[in-house]
């Protein structure tokens, strides 16, 4: 494998060969000889267990406390979003993606809108792109905060939960200020944004960034600098970079295995090539590395947010949506005076715009890894096919590789460190 | 572009929207995948997406027009809008590949199948294909030969039909106990 993303794959191997179970990569099977001993019992872990982050069901084979067999069962949250989106106009379909990965709601909405824009070939004004970037990074922080808080709950660092959720409220306040709702904003629009950001947003967001920057040190003291936490996390759930690539793991989980891969850096979208930020990479491949990657990522997200806020201020007064009346709603005030605007408004709201025929796959770096959106259009007013690449799906499928030769308590730490979300994997 | 000439079973190389699509014959899919992984370094399978093109350029629900695929309602065309290009078969299967290295390359490996035709499994080539193929089988009904554990992934084990097919009705799922009424 000729990967050379900085050091990892060429550095010292974390273990010899591969740990991926065979013949089914997502199913750790118990050897028949071991089962005949009579010590192996099968336990259903979930789908309603508080440590499984939603409705993940794991079928475990336990020998004492050791996990010797494992298989994940998902689909309890399958809602058929992809099918539903085929029934709606492009305009209305934008509502759905934010419900798929509800912690990264803005990023999911954005990836679908970016795919539409790629098919349309429409140019988005700079101010709108900077606002999207600021919100995308705030959304990443939001997702990481919830993840960190629940990791705390699962590993007995209960205070962490309250520290994280306090800050999470502040992010949601910012989203409420911008979009009017706390979670499912539907703020992205093909061509730009649904409306301009409120004038007070930049200051409020700066306040939040300053506040969170002070807090992150406390998160670190409670997690990887905490002896108890270290004992649960260090050397647990090791996966090598090679195995992680083969299993399709992405995002922070890949960077925790020492691979310097970040879609924002390597295949920049929006204006990520114009901002300064570092990609945190840790090489130990264990739970601790994955936790540290995400905490460091929050710092980097703050850096990006602040740079984006500067740009938003510089571009004050510039348009926040493209000037293309065939795709974008006319300004509200024109509806009173211009017949043509009224017709455009009516056509857009009733039938919607048409998107040229073609297919695109658009990957972005979401909080949980590579979020991809595959869209097929037949040139009509509705998407022909929409498919989301769910990072959680592949992460859950990889869990049996990580849990080998570990105790059931370690399993909790491993599933926590992987940051999976069932809404994302089940769609 | 030229580097893909050697891919076994190559039908065409298409460039659109800045993305490269490699269409290969279904029978040669496995050989093509191995070639792409081993010779051209596509070590990362990002996604597998199936799409059903039943009724693609014909008459479908909504405002889409006549059987020739022309839409009288499309503004400024006077009914002369070009029909979308016909597809070779009913289903497309798209493997979104990534060469994870210092200069990353993305590629869509695509093959076409009719109802009842099977595709070779890629689990041995990219272990990530395990659940991705189960998902396509579950929702689109495409069978993968040689998959070690091809069972439904997202819908219940006793579910009837494959929801993402175009002939699967919306809201038409069987409702429990309804036969007793």
| pLDDT above 80: residue A241 | yes
Rounded (5°) CA angle A385-A386-A391: 145
Residues B71 and B147 grouped into a single domain: no
Q: What tens digit of pLDDT does each residue of A292-323 get? A: 999 999 999 999 999 999 999 999 888 889 88
* Exposure class string for A100-120: b at 16+ Cβ within 10 A, else e: bbebbbbbbbbbbbbbbbbbb
Same domain (yes/no): B97, B67: no
- Summarize pLDDT for B1-28 with one digit per residue, the tens: 457 888 888 888 999 898 999 999 999 9
Examine the pLDDT at A46 and tell me if it is beyond 80: no
Measure B140 CA to nearest chain A CA, in Å.
11
For residues B112 and B167, membership in a common domain is answered with yes
Nearest 5°: CA angle at A4, between A367 and B6?
A: 100
Token duo for residue A252:
């922070």
Domain that holds residue B71: 57-86
Q: What is the pLDDT of residue A174?
A: 93
The ipTM (two decimal places) reads 0.88
Best mutation site among B65, B98, B133, B140 for testing chain A: the one with the most A CBs within 10 Å? B98
Angstrom distance (rounded) from CA A390 to CA A377 = 21
Judgement on whether residues B131 and B175 belong to the same structural domain of the protein = yes
Specify whether B75 is located in the same domain as B109.
no
Q: Check whether B173 has a pLDDT greater than 80.
A: no
Whether residue A372 lies inside any domain: the answer is no
Q: Which of A74, A347, A358 sits opposite B153 (nearest CB)?
A: A74
How many domains does chain A fold into? Answer: 1
Residues A121-158 pLDDT 10s: 889 999 999 999 999 999 999 999 999 999 888 888 88
CA A403 centroid distance within chain? 23
DSSP H helices, B48-169, are: 129-140
- Give the residue from chain A lying closest to B109, CA to CA: A361
Residue A116 lies in a domain: yes
Q: How many residues does chain A have?
A: 427
Within-domain flag for A413 = no
Residues in chain A closer than 8 A to B46 (CB atoms) = 248, 250, 361, 363, 370, 372, 389
* Residues of chain A contacting residue B168, judged by C-beta atoms under 8 Å apart: 83
Contacts with B126 from chain A: Cβ below 8 Å: 246, 248
Chain B positions in Cβ-Cβ contact with residue A78 (cut-off 8 Å): 154-155
Indicate which CATH number applies to the domain containing A347: 1.10.645.10
Q: How far is A107 from chain B (nearest CA, A)?
A: 18
d(CA B125, nearest CA chain A) in Å: 9
pLDDT tens across B53-106, in order?
887 765 443 444 444 444 555 555 554 555 677 788 889 999 999 998 888 899
Q: Are B61 and B72 in a shared domain?
A: yes
Question: Are residues B152 and B65 part of one domain?
Answer: no
- In a domain, residue A28? The reply is no
Based on the fold, state whether residues B82 and B93 are members of the same structural domain: no
Domain boundaries, position A338 = 102-352+389-398
Phi, psi dihedrals of residue B134, rounded to the nearest 5°: -60, -35
A83 belongs to a structural domain = no
Q: Judge whether B88 and B56 are in contact, CB under 8 Å.
A: no
The answer to whether residues B132 and B168 belong to one domain is: yes
Do B36 and B111 lie in a common domain? Answer: yes
pLDDT given for residue A3 in this prediction: 64
**B149, B121: one domain:** yes
Tell me if B100 and A4 make a contact (CB, 8 A cut-off): no
Shared domain for B102 and B147, answered yes or no, is yes
DSSP code of residue B125: T
Contact A83 B170 (CB under 8 A): yes
Q: Determine the Cα–Cα distance for residues A166 and A215; give it in Å rounded to an integer.
A: 10
Number of domain units in chain B: 2
CB contact under 8 A, A80 and B126: no
């Amino acid at each position: 494998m000729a990967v050379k993303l900085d050091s990892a794959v060429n550095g010292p191997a974390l273990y010899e060969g591969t740990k991926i179970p065979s013949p089914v990569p997502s199913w750790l099977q118990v050897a028949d000889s071991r089962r005949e001993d009579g010590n192996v019992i099968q336990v259903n872990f979930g789908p309603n267990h508080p440590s499984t982050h939603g409705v993940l069901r794991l079928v475990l084979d336990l020998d004492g406390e050791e996990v010797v067999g494992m298989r994940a069962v998902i689909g309890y949250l399958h809602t058929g979003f992809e099918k539903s989106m085929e029934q709606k106009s492009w305009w209305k379909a934008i509502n759905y993606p934010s419900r798929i990965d509800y912690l990264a709601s803005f990023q999911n909405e954005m990836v679908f809108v970016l795919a539409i824009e790629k098919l349309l070939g429409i140019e988005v004004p700079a101010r709108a792109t900077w606002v999207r970037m600021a919100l995308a990074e705030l959304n990443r922080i939001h997702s990481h905060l919830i993840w960190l808080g629940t990791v705390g709950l699962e590993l007995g660092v209960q205070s962490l939960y309250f520290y994280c959720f306090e800050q999470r409220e502040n992010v949601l306040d910012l989203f409420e200020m911008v979009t009017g709702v706390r979670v499912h904003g539907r703020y992205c629009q093909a061509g730009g944004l649904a409306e301009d950001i409120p004038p007070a947003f930049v200051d409020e967001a700066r306040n939040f960034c300053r506040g969170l920057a002070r807090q992150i040190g406390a998160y670190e003291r409670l997690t990887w600098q905490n002896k108890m936490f270290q004992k649960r996390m260090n050397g647990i759930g090791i996966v090598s970079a090679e195995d992680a690539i083969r299993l399709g793991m992405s995002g922070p989980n890949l960077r925790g295995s020492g691979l310097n891969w970040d879609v924002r850096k390597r295949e920049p979208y929006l204006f990520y090539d114009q901002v300064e930020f570092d990609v945190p990479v840790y090489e130990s491949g264990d739970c601790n590395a994955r936790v540290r990657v995400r905490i460091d990522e929050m710092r980097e997200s703050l850096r990006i947010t602040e740079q984006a806020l500067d740009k938003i201020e510089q571009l004050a007064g510039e348009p926040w949506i493209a000037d293309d009346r065939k795709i974008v709603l006319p300004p509200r005030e024109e509806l009173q005076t211009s017949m043509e605007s009224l017709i455009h408004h009516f056509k857009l709201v009733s039938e919607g715009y048409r998107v040229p025929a073609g297919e695109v796959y658009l990957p972005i770096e979401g909080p949980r890894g590579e979020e991809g959106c595959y869209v097929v259009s037949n040139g009509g007013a509705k998407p022909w096919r929409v498919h989301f690449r769910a990072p959680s799906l592949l992460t859950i499928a990889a869990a049996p590789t990580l849990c080998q030769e570990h105790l059931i308590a370690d399993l909790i730490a491993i599933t926590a460190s992987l940051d999976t979300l069932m809404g994302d994997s089940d769609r | 572009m030229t580097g893909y000439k050697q891919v076994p079973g190559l039908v065409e190389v298409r460039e659109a929207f800045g993305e490269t699509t490699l269409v290969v014959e279904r029978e040669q899919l496995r050989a093509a995948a191995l070639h792409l992984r081993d010779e051209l370094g596509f070590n990362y399978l990002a996604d597998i997406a199936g799409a059903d093109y039943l009724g693609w350029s014909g008459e479908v629900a909504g405002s889409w027009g006549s059987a020739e695929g022309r839409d009288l309602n499309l503004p400024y065309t006077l009914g002369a809008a070009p029909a979308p290009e016909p597809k070779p078969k009913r289903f497309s299967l798209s493997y979104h590949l990534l060469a994870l290295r210092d200069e990353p390359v993305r590629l869509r490996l695509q093959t076409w199948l009719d109802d009842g035709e099977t595709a070779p499994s890629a689990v041995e080539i990219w272990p990530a294909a395990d659940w991705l193929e189960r998902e396509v089988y579950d929702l689109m009904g495409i069978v993968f030969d040689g998959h070690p554990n091809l069972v439904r992934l997202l819908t219940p084990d006793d579910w009837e039909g494959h929801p993402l097919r175009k002939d699967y009705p919306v809201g038409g799922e069987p409702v429990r106990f309804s036969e007793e009424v």
